[in-house]
Amino acid sequence: MKGRRLCCLVIVSVVLAACNTNVESMDVLGPWGGPHAAMVLTTTGGTLEYDCAAGTISNDWTVTPDGIFAATGQHMPGHGGPVRIGEDTVRRPARYQGSIHGSIMTLTVVLTDSATVVGVFSLTRGRTGSVFRCL
């Protein structure tokens, strides 16, 4: 009985490993940009800048072979005017999810503490984004 369980565990592990690949193996590292958003993915995570806000992406980023991805990170809402010395930055937990088809990424940003969708963005690999600053 123990041998059968071990065999099943090994098979499930192999199947799960085959279903998920990291960012580097999907060749999605580097800049992505579009209207209202700019993102840079690295082997250690990434950064995201969008209208009047910014975000960080943890290194837990995964991409399935069919281009579906998910990651966690933080969202930092911006505000008008300069950032003051010693100002505390508000950080909220976020989920970054979507799909990649060719050189186009559809990215949805969701605040996980409130299930609020911050936005849905269309990004193109290798492009810079056009982001509006808070006034």
- In tens, the pLDDT along 20-29 reads 444 434 578 8
Tell me how far CA of residue 63 lies from CA of 31, 41, 91, in angstroms: 16, 12, 25
Q: Which residue has the higher pLDDT, 94 or 19?
A: 94
Count of CB atoms within 10 A of residue 38's CB?
20
pTM: 0.75
According to the model, what pLDDT value does residue 18 have? 39
Is residue 61 classed exposed, middle or buried when 0-12, 13-18 and 19+ CB atoms within 10 A define those classes?
A: buried
Radius of gyration of the chain (CA): 18
Digit-coded pLDDT (tens) for 95-127: 999 999 999 999 999 999 999 999 999 999 999
